[in-house]
């Protein structure tokens, strides 16, 4: 299993999908443009359906026959709560393990065995884990078991956070299209990212959300990405090699104020110092990687300001009331896109689509 990360991406994706459909959700490279747009559409329909009491009641039956486990052994607020909210919206009971000191792991049970055991009770396991390849390895392990259930990666060490990338791209769609409802259209020829500049700022080396979102954005021709970070925290060479292979236009930058006027979206991140081995990031000067209130006069009128949260000091709080600040919208979008993803994983996206079309005629 240790050799897994060296497998070519296409092979990894094949092992995680079943019948050409997503089964385990582990890496952002599993999502093509059609699937991203499909999930955005299901998310948009779900939130419209949920607006009416009868609609919310319908959604509450969609996955009431399935059960979810959240195995979250790294701290989490939003990812945890948005997945539990998604489960509640779809009527799916859930349970969680957040503290292994209360599980049999203290008696020496391995994490592999814990996952095998959990797979007997539940129909999906959402995993947040500090170790990069853990979720993927568990997916492969379950593939070899008589009872196989999907593993969903809710954050894998410094590597990836594919469901965060989905909510980020959903947020971008909702703001780049003329109206959020345009997410409902089947217009695969329209590329809302063409000619757009998106800057990623901060700790790009260890920020898994940026890594996953870069893979998704690489699906859209003519997008321009700026990686704005101190040298020590610049995005990994595996990502730049991927972008090179996919002919994506990207540049490295070292000062946010030099590029802010060119940005259609700016994606801020915090220092990921929990990954420090010996406090090595403590003395890095981050002053050039802060979105300050005095930059606002250079913002484009429709700039999209994003942050996966939690925030420290990298966005001035005075910008929170600016209509271009979308980081709290991202939180809510995360709940709806994860609802769409859970429905999709259990083949219930069609049920939501049919319901929508029988009640609304968009
Ligand atoms: C992020 C994470 O855990 O990777 N948070 C989240 O899921 N929204 C970002 C972070 O912790 O900085």
**H or E element at residue 198:** strand 197-201
The pLDDT assigned to 103 comes to 83
Beta-carbon contacts of 307 under 8 Å, excluding residues fewer than 6 positions away, are 267, 268, 269, 314, 315, 327, 330
pTM for the predicted model, two decimal places: 0.96
State in Å: Cα 207 to ligand 1 middle: 8
Residue 353, judged by CB atoms within 10 A of its CB (0-12, 13-18, 19+), counts as: middle
**How far apart (Å, rounded) are the C-alpha atoms in residues 55 and 49?**
5
Q: Which of 128, 161, 330 to mutate to test the pocket of ligand 1 (most atoms within 8 A of CB)?
A: 161
271 lines ligand 1 (CB under 6 A): no
Instruction: Say if strands 21-22 and 17-18 run parallel, antiparallel, or are unpaired.
Output: antiparallel
The pLDDT assigned to 63 comes to 98
CA distances 187 to 34, 60, 83, 184, Å, are 10, 30, 29, 9
- With CA atoms as reference, report the closest residue to 76 among 56, 98, 93: 98
Catalytic residues: 78-79, 107, 128, 161
The pLDDT assigned to 357 comes to 93
Residues in the chain: 362
CA distances 46 to 43, 210, 315, 340, 354, Å, are 5, 26, 31, 7, 11
Helix, strand, coil percentages, rounded to 5, for the chain: 50, 15, 35
Closest atom of ligand 1 to 334 CA is 8
Residue 91 φ/ψ region, left for φ over 0, alpha for ψ in the -120 to 50 degree band, beta for the rest: left
The pLDDT assigned to 360 comes to 82
Residue 34, Cβ neighbours under 10 Å: how many?
Answer: 11
Residue 197 φ/ψ region, left for φ over 0, alpha for ψ in the -120 to 50 degree band, beta for the rest: beta
Tokens describing residue 172 = 């971008």
Residue nearest to atom 7 of ligand 1 (CA): 79
The pLDDT assigned to 184 comes to 86
The pLDDT assigned to 1 comes to 43
Closest atom of ligand 1 to 270 CA is 12
Closest atom of ligand 1 to 74 CA is 3
- With CA atoms as reference, report the closest residue to 252 among 221, 231, 222, 283: 231
Q: Which residue carries 């026959």 as its tokens?
A: 65
How many Cα atoms occupy the beta-carbon half-sphere of 81 within 13 Å? 7
Domains in the chain, please, with CATH?
A: 4-160+333-356 (3.40.50.1370), 193-325 (3.40.50.1370)
The pLDDT assigned to 104 comes to 85
- With CA atoms as reference, report the closest residue to 12 among 208, 238, 234: 238
Q: Which of 164, 286, 306, 312 to mutate to test the pocket of ligand 1 (most atoms within 8 A of CB)?
A: 164
Asked if residues 193 and 118 have their Cβ atoms less than 8 Å apart, the reply is no
State in Å: Cα 206 to ligand 1 middle: 11
CA 35 to chain centre: 14
What are the average pLDDT values for consecutive 10-residue runs of the chain, which has 362 residues?
71 95 97 96 97 97 98 96 98 95 87 97 98 97 98 97 98 94 81 97 98 98 98 97 98 98 98 94 96 98 98 97 98 98 98 93 60
State in Å: Cα 305 to ligand 1 middle: 16
SS3 279: coil
**How far apart (Å, rounded) are the C-alpha atoms in residues 134 and 117?**
16
């Amino acid at each position: 299993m240790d050799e897994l990360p060296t497998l070519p991406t296409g092979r990894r994706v094949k092992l995680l999908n079943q019948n050409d459909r997503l089964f385990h959700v582990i890496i952002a490279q599993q999502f093509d443009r059609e699937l991203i747009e499909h999930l955005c559409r299901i998310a948009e329909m779900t939130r419209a359906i949920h607006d009416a009491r009868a609609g919310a009641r319908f959604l509450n039956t969609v996955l009431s026959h399935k059960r979810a486990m959240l195995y979250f052994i790294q701290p989490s607020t939003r990812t945890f709560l948005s997945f539990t909210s998604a489960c509640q919206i779809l009527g799916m009971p859930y349970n969680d393990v957040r503290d292994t000191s209360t599980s049999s792991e203290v008696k020496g049970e391995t994490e592999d065995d814990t996952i095998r055991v959990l797979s007997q009770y539940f129909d999906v396991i959402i995993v947040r884990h500090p170790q990069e390849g853990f979720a993927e390895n568990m997916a492969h392990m379950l593939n070899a078991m008589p009872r196989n259930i999907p593993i969903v990666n809710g954050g894998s060490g410094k590597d990836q956070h594919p469901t965060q990338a989905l909510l980020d791209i959903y947020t971008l769609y909702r703001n780049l299209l003329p109206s959020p409802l345009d997410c409902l259209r089947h217009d695969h020829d329209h590329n809302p990212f063409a000619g757009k500049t998106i800057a990623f700022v901060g700790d790009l080396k260890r920020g898994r959300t940026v890594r996953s979102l870069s893979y998704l954005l690489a699906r859209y021709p003519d997008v321009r990405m700026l990686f704005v970070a101190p040298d020590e925290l610049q995005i990994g060479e595996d990502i730049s090699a991927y972008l090179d292979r996919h002919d994506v236009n990207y540049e490295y930058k070292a000062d946010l104020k030099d590029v802010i006027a060119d940005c259609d979206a700016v994606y801020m991140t915090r220092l990921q110092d929990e990954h420090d081995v010996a406090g090595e990031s403590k003395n890095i000067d981050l002053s050039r990687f802060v979105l300050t209130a005095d930059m606002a006069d250079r913002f484009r009128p429709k700039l999209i300001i994003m942050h996966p949260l939690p925030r420290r000091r990298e966005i001035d709080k005075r910008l929170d009331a600016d209509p271009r600040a979308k980081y709290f919208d991202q939180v809510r979008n995360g709940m709806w896109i994860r609802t769409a993803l859970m429905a999709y994983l259990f083949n219930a996206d069609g049920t939501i689509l049919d319901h929508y079309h029988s009640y609304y005629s968009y």
